[in-house]
Structure 1
Amino acid sequence: MDPQSYFKPGDWVVYRKTKRGPAPGPRARRVTAAHKGDNYGYTVDKYWVVEDTLPDGTVLLKTRRGKQNRLSSDDPALRKAGVLTRWMYRSRFLEIERHDSGQPSNAVPV
């Protein structure tokens, strides 16, 4: 299947972002120490919503704080959220959708 046609606007996706720093946060996964131990390498799952698919093979993604990220649709770190992920992290995805609709983040959708 063509990666560009795989994602549609409104899809919930997970992006596994690679980071480096002196103190990994509580959501950090696959934590590894640097050679001399000053920093750590780790990954963090980001829960975003597809805003648009673009003709050049990229997807425009919306974060929970309203930022946009543009990634290649065939990036191996990007995947659609599975059923379990959608259920477990539903509030994160809904927060993004509420941000788009202008509702306060503590509002309950009707």
Structure 2
Amino acid sequence: MRGFEVGEPVVYLMTKQSSHPTLRATTVSPAAHGDDYSYVVKKFWVVSEICTDGSLIVQTRRGKARRVSSDDPCLRHASLWERWMYRDRFPEADLADPVPMKPRPTPEKIGQAG
């Protein structure tokens, strides 16, 4: 499996437990006595840093930084389909993209001919 790179979108399968699973929950299973449910939720993050010990610092959609092991079985590369389908769930480019984007011309500058 190829390694992770800074700025790369990743998917983390987070296991949760509550009495009310969310709409995005998958693999929902009830507890033994039926009080709670355990389920899995996909988290869409972007790699912001690669540590010397091989762990990753990832950026969440709300700007939090989390440290995860690069060999965690719940962490994987986002597929091309997920990058397109869930593009609004990944963090904004300005939070995770190490290369600044070029500014776009404003409408005033477009109408002016040098």
TM beyond 0.5? yes
Is 1:81 matched up with 2:46? no
TM-score, normalised to structure 2, is: 0.80
For 1:23-62, list aligned pairs within 5 A.
23-62=20-59
CA displacement at 1:21 relative to structure 2: 0.5
**Contact 2:28/2:37, CA 8 A, preserved across alignment:** yes
Equivalent position of 2:93 in the other structure: 97
CA displacement at 1:92 relative to structure 2: 1.8
The 1-side partners of 2:44 and 2:59 are apart by 9
**Contact 2:21/2:37, CA 8 A, preserved across alignment:** yes
TM-score, normalised to structure 1, is: 0.83
Letter aligned with residue 10 of structure 2: V
**Contact 2:59/2:96, CA 8 A, preserved across alignment:** no
CA displacement at 1:99 relative to structure 2: 4.3
Q: Which runs of 5+ in 1 are unaligned?
A: 102-108
Equivalent position of 1:67 in the other structure: 64
**Contact 1:15/1:79, CA 8 A, preserved across alignment:** yes
The 1-side partners of 2:89 and 2:7 are apart by 14
Greater percentage in helix: 1
CA RMSD of aligned residues (A): 1.9
Equivalent position of 1:105 in the other structure: none
Letter aligned with residue 97 of structure 1: A
Equivalent pairs, count: 99
The 1-side partners of 2:75 and 2:96 are apart by 22
